[in-house]
Amino acid sequence: MLFNSFQFLLFFPIVTIIYFLLPYKLRWVHLLVASCIFYMAFVPIYILILLATIIIDYIAGIMIENAEGRRRRAFLILSLVANIGVLVIFKYYNFFAININTLADASKAGFSIPLLKILLPIGLSFHTFQAMSYTLEVYRDNQKAERHFGIYALYVMFYPQLVAGPIERPQNLLDQFHAKHDFSYDNCRDGIRLMIWGFFKKIVIADRLAIIVNNVYNDPRHFNGVALTIATLFFAFQVYCDFSGYTDIARGAAKTMGYDLMLNFNRPFASKSVTEIWRRWHISLSTWFFDYLFNPLVASLRKWGRWAIVFGLLFTFFLSGLWHGANWKYIIWGSVYGVALVYEFLTKNFRKKIFSVLPPTVNKTISIFLTFSFFVLASVFFRGKSVKDALYIFAHLFKGWKSVCSVSGIKSVITAIGGNDTVYGSFNVVIGFLLIAFLEIIQFRTKDTSPENIVRNSSSIVKWSYYYFLIIAIFVIGAYDNQEFIYFQF
Amino acid sequence: METQEILTQMNSILSKVLRKKDIEVSVTTTASDVDGWDSLSHMIIIDSIEKHFGVKFKLNDIMRFNNMGDIVSNIQGKLSN
């Protein structure tokens, strides 16, 4: 079920109201059934995959806790193999098969691996990672194995974060399912505020920007550098609003019932380095990779000194790219980040010395600008339909800029962007830039507090005017062609 | 070795690795309390501590270190054997 669908508009209040009407002991059953309904709105039969991994991880958790030494390790490996196995079969098998077949073709080896005709289960990478987090934390003695099967199943399936995160940790979430959550007006208010802000970011900003982005990126060869640049810039904000909007709705929906999900985005465009981006962007995934892959890997190789970190970064970000999708464009996208982090790590002291001659404000401004530019440019690989398209876009980003020197030139760019419709193109470009400006002003003003709370201390008139504005904007300037969330495909 | 003595030596290790003067840690100090001690420099610091005290931590122990006190008691355990 999509958050931005009519079904969810009914589903959310019904589930939340019934949750509080039911006696405490039955609430986990209700949430589990609701989560199954939410998941089965996509491909119902795939619930069996979830069930299988839930059973394996539930048993593995208890066995890890009870076992010692090698047996303990064996049960952890069983759980990891089960989860990664499901990921490999459903997400990566065809990608590997296609690449092996291409190599076999090129070398005339005379064989080919058959491809599977399967749909990718929705949110697979998210819930398998959350499940692995559980067995890994039990193995590390940071979490007690969950004895209640229903509660464990709910930990994996909790509907707000089931299909696109945040990828929770058992230490944060499991205990919350055991706690009694009484109805709280404050939680409901805060949750709904967060959801409205999330819907605004998704339906009004992301889906509006997507119109231009899709037009240009579906056929980049028909556009000059100006159009490619506008579309690429718009995509950076689209993907941020799309994914962080999803997270806000997820966190808000959970909050109304008294559950606190972790922060997943913290103003990533305010980052002063590429390293900092990953402390602010998709935090639940980056911390997962750092805690369960990067740190153990670098710890085992620590005799290599700095080179252990270099290798760890390249490998981690290569896999992070692969996590996003079974496609070379994602692998390149992730690897580009790996290289950038290595560069920042190796030149940290040198850059500090060079930039220390600049006044702090200038230093900060330049750092934010360069970091944001890197994010925008790297996202060409993320959004481009293929590596070939992405390379074409890079080669043509700076071509055709003379067109902005004349009114007719600007008009032709706008017309092309709008799909041969000047009015539609102008409307979407102007609204797009205004929405980006609005988003940035709100985020700049709220700094590290939550943007949805910008009017929290204002008078009632300002407060309600602001929320009415957001809600009206969702209905009036929201783009409604039921766009899926970008991260659903992962 | 006494806890305070280990902590004093930790100060000089951290100052050397992080190239910062006046670092003072206690048993409750965590990585986030020390400027520059981030996820990237963490293992370099661990490696330097091992070399300095002539000990070798187990991978599982490293993953469980939550604060300086955990590292100090692990070192004390290893040195007393």
User: What is the separation of C-alpha A392 from the centre of its chain, rounded to a whole number of angstroms?
Assistant: 26
d(CA A136, CA A61): 9
Q: State how far the Cα of A152 lies from the Cα of A55, in Å rounded to an integer.
A: 9
Out of B19, B39, B63, whose CB is closest to A349? Answer: B19
Collect all residues of chain B within an 8 Å Cβ-Cβ radius of residue A300: 59
Counting runs of H as helices and runs of E as strands, what totals does chain B give?
4, 0
With a pLDDT cut of 90, the percent of chain A lying above it is 54
Residue that wins the pLDDT comparison between B79 and A381: A381
Q: What is the number of CB-based contacts under 8 A between chain A and chain B?
A: 39
Given an 8 Å threshold on Cβ–Cβ distance, is A298 in contact with B63? no
The rounded Cα A35 to chain-centroid distance in angstroms is 20
Chain A, nearest residue to B42 by Cα: A295
Q: Does B44 touch chain A (CB under 8 A)?
A: yes
pLDDT value of residue A481:
67
Q: Which of chain A's residues have a Cβ under 8 Å away from the Cβ of B63?
A: 140, 295-296, 299
CB pair distance less than 8 Å for A295 and B40: no
Report the range of poorest mean pLDDT among A147-151, A366-370, A405-409. A405-409
CB contact under 8 A, B46 and A305: no
By CB atoms closer than 10 A (0-12, 13-18, 19+), residue B2 is exposed
Contact state of A295 with B47 under an 8 Å Cβ cutoff: no
| pLDDT confidence tier of residue A78, bands split at 50, 70 and 90 | very high
pLDDT tens for residues A281-303? 999 999 999 999 998 999 889 88
| Residue A69 touches partner B, C-beta closer than 8 Å | no
**3-state SS, one letter per residue, for chain A:** CCCCCHHHHHHHHHHHHHHHHCCHHHHHHHHHHHHHHHHHCCCHHHHHHHHHHHHHHHHHHHHHHHCCHHHHHHHHHHHHHHHHHHHHHHHHHHHHHHHHHHHHHHCCCCCCCCCCCCCCCCCHHHHHHHHHHHHHHHHCCCCCCCCCHHHHHHHHHCHHHCCCCCCCCHHHHHHHHHCCCCCCHHHHHHHHHHHHHHHHHHHHHHHHHHHHHHHHHHCHHHCCHHHHHHHHHHHHHHHHHHHHHHHHHHHHHHHHCCCCCCCCCCCHHHCCCHHHHHHHCCHHHHHHHHHHHHHHHHHHCHHHCHHHHHHHHHHHHHHHHHHHCCCHHHHHHHHHHHHHHHHHHHCHHHHHHHHCCCCHHHHHHHHHHHHHHHHHHHHHHHHCCCHHHHHHHHHHCCCCHHHHHCHHHHHHHHHHHCCCCHHHHHHHHHHHHHHHHHHHHHHHHHCCCCHHHCCCCCCHHHHHHHHHHHHHHHHHCCCCCCCCCHHHHC
Domain-wise residue ranges, chain A: 6-180, 187-489
* Mutation for testing the B interface, residue in A73, A302, A351, A356 having most B CBs under 10 Å: A302
What's the pTM value of the predicted model, to 2 decimals? Answer: 0.86
- Whole-angstrom distance, CA of residue B33 vs CA of residue B42: 13
Q: Give per-residue pLDDT as tens, A187-245.
A: 998 899 889 999 999 989 998 899 899 999 999 998 888 889 999 999 999 999 999 99
Note whether ipTM > 0.90 here. no
Are A306 and B63 an interchain contact pair (Cβ–Cβ within 8 Å)?
Answer: no
Q: Does B21 touch chain A (CB under 8 A)?
A: no
B60 in contact with A at a CB cutoff of 8 Å? yes
C-beta of residue A254 within 8 angstroms of C-beta of residue A263: no
CA distance B3 to chain A (A): 24
Catalogue the active-site residues of A. 324
Q: Do B59 and A299 touch (CB under 8 A)?
A: yes
Tokens of A76: 């952890």
A294 contact residues in B (CB cutoff 8 A): 39
Out of A257-261, A349-353, B51-55, give the one with best mean pLDDT: A257-261
Residues 257-316 of A with CB under 8 A from B: 275, 290, 294-296, 298-300, 302-303, 305-306, 308-309, 313
**A73 lies within 8 A of chain B by CB:** no
